[in-house]
Amino acid sequence: MAHETHTAQACKPKWVRKVDSMLYWILIILAIIGNFAASVALVPILMTMKGAWLAFFIFFTSIAFGFIFSTLLHTIEALAPKEHVITWILIPSIALINITIITLLSNKLIELLNLTTPEHSPLIIGLTYIIGYIAPEAIQHAKNTRKAHLSSLS
């Protein structure tokens, strides 16, 4: 499959490969901005919710963003497996840093405003977000692997 992608990429005109590359980098920038915006939007949620409801909300919010990113990423044909791996390490790492900073900020705001909401663990919030964020891609990867395995058996 990787060889087919590489061969198909080589057959494209140079300008198409350039557009694919530009789309890829625009997508990366939009994903970073989107993750930051999602993190900032979570501040009121972090200040008011707690416990399982908070984890549930963060997990499903991150699944939604992960699904959108995974879908967009798979629509760009320019991605070689190497770029795919880099993307799926870079974006979640930045998202983890964002959500950690936002969680710490929310904890500080909870303290400054004397709210009764308990402080949240940046580690637990971050892991919840990242697990949800990468879940759609992990599921897609498992499906593709299974499909490739089944097609090699026939």
Average the pLDDT over 102-118 and give the result.
Answer: 94
- Report which of residues 147 and 110 the model is more confident about: 110
Task: Read off the pLDDT of residues 55-84 as tens digits, 9 standing for 90 and up.
Answer: 999 999 999 989 988 887 777 655 566 666
Asked if residue 1 has pLDDT above 70, the reply is no
Domain ranges of the chain: 2-153
| Cα 39 to Cα 37: distance, rounded to the nearest angstrom | 5
Spatial distance between the Cα atoms of 109 and 95, rounded to a whole number of angstroms: 21
Give the whole-number percent of the chain exceeding pLDDT 90: 42
CA torsion sign, 4 to 10 to 11 to 12?
positive
What's residue 49's pLDDT?
A: 93
Which residues, including other chains, have CB under 8 Å from residue 110's CB and lie 6 or more apart? 47, 117, 118, 119
Residues 119 and 110: beta-carbon distance below 8 Å: yes
